[in-house]
Amino acid sequence: MQSVMRTIRTALIQSRVGANRSENLENARKLISQAKTLGAQLISLPECFNSPYGTKFFNEYAESIPNGPTSEMLSKAAKDNNVYLVGGTFPEIENSKYYNTCTVWNPEGKLIAKYRKMHLFDIDIPGGITFKESDVLAAGNSLATFDLEGTKIGLGICYDLRFEELAKLYRLQGVEILIYPAAFNLTTGPLHFELLQRGRAIDNQVFVLAISPARGTQGYIAWGHSQITNPWGKVIGQAKEGEEIVNVDLDLTECDKVRQQIPIFSQRRNDIYDTIKVGIK
Ligand SMILES: O=C(O)CCC(=O)C(=O)O
């Protein structure tokens, strides 16, 4: 039997981000319109697309959702362009707590999903990078998905890419696309960014989209290289370092094919795994 073609044209916007919120929003707004002219139905922005990335900036740039200039711009841009818009992330404030939050807007401009980064970016690589989001941010505790014409899409943010458990939970919920706004750095980016995405894609037989800010020259320097990986683990779109839109058609029948041809989800040995007790130090 011939499988039905299911395609979503997607665009990743690797935008330049500076210190001025209004300029960042205006730049993102223009790039969203540009992505629409390329035929994109699903458009995604980077992590911290409205502010520099750093713990000292979170409270200054934080907004409540959906009442704030960033939510307003995203809602209007989704509606004006008649697209599904994954609004990267920006710092959210609610009840005196700060979160790193991703919002999703439908073509009517309605907020249809909100995801708060679940695994906070706390690492210490001497001579490389030290970052402690938990100094300022609270972690989210919920998964978030949305539906685009019958395709279920799951959300994560940057460091979440390292946690296979989250991706697997999404897959078990029926997700076919995982989207991670992200801002890897010049230490871990070259080693891990592409590889982690390919790993998540292969393990879960899903498309993985990761969207970075363009590489800047001061403060936290993002790695760039926004990427689209198909369910076979093949990189089918990748940006360089600068501002760029990556525009690709996702053929969802690839999920059906790989899941049928390499049926790992029905071959798991939970009968064995569940009997083995382990402790993690
Ligand atoms: O995991 C990494 O190496 C980078 C993570 C990161 O930059 C983030 O979570 O914002």
Q: What is the pLDDT of residues 243-274, one digit of tens each?
A: 999 999 999 999 999 999 999 999 999 999 98
What is the set of domains in the chain, with CATH numbers?
A: 7-266 (3.60.110.10)
Atom of ligand 1 nearest to the CA of 120: 9
CA 161 to ligand 1 center in whole angstroms: 8
Which residue's CA is the nearest one to ligand 1's atom 9?
159
pLDDT digits (tens, 9 = 90+) for 56-88: 999 999 999 999 999 999 999 999 999 999 999
- Specify the pLDDT at position 258: 98
Q: 20 near 49, Cβ under 8 Å?
A: no
Q: What's the ipTM?
A: 0.98
Task: Give me ligand 1 centre to Cα 14, in Å.
Answer: 16
Pocket of ligand 1 (CB under 6 A): 47, 121, 158-159, 162, 183-185, 188, 192
Most ligand 1 atoms within 8 A of CB, residue of 160, 185, 223, 225 to mutate: 185
How do residues 130-148 score in pLDDT, each as one tens digit? Answer: 999 999 999 999 999 999 9
Q: pLDDT at position 97, please?
A: 98
pTM: 0.97
| Ligand 1 mutation target, pool 17, 100, 119, 158, most atoms within 8 A of CB | 158
Average pLDDT along the chain: 96
Q: Is the pLDDT of residue 281 over 90?
A: no
**CB of 227 within 8 A of CB of 239?**
yes
> What spacing in Å lies between the alpha carbon of 188 and ligand 1's midpoint?
8
Tell me the C-alpha distance between 185 and 183, whole Å.
6
Nearest CA to ligand 1 atom 1: 159
Tens digit of pLDDT for each residue in 14-29? 999 999 999 999 999 9
Q: Is 48 a catalytic residue?
A: no
User: Residue 218's pLDDT band (boundaries 50, 70, 90)?
Assistant: confident
Averaged pLDDT for residues 167-184: 98
**Annotated active-site residue in 36, 48, 63, 158:** 158
pLDDT recorded at residue 4: 57
Q: Is the pLDDT of residue 156 over 70?
A: yes
Average pLDDT over residues 197-223: 96
pLDDT at 157 over 60: yes
| Whether residue 47 lies in the annotated active site | yes
Q: Is the pLDDT of residue 7 over 60?
A: yes
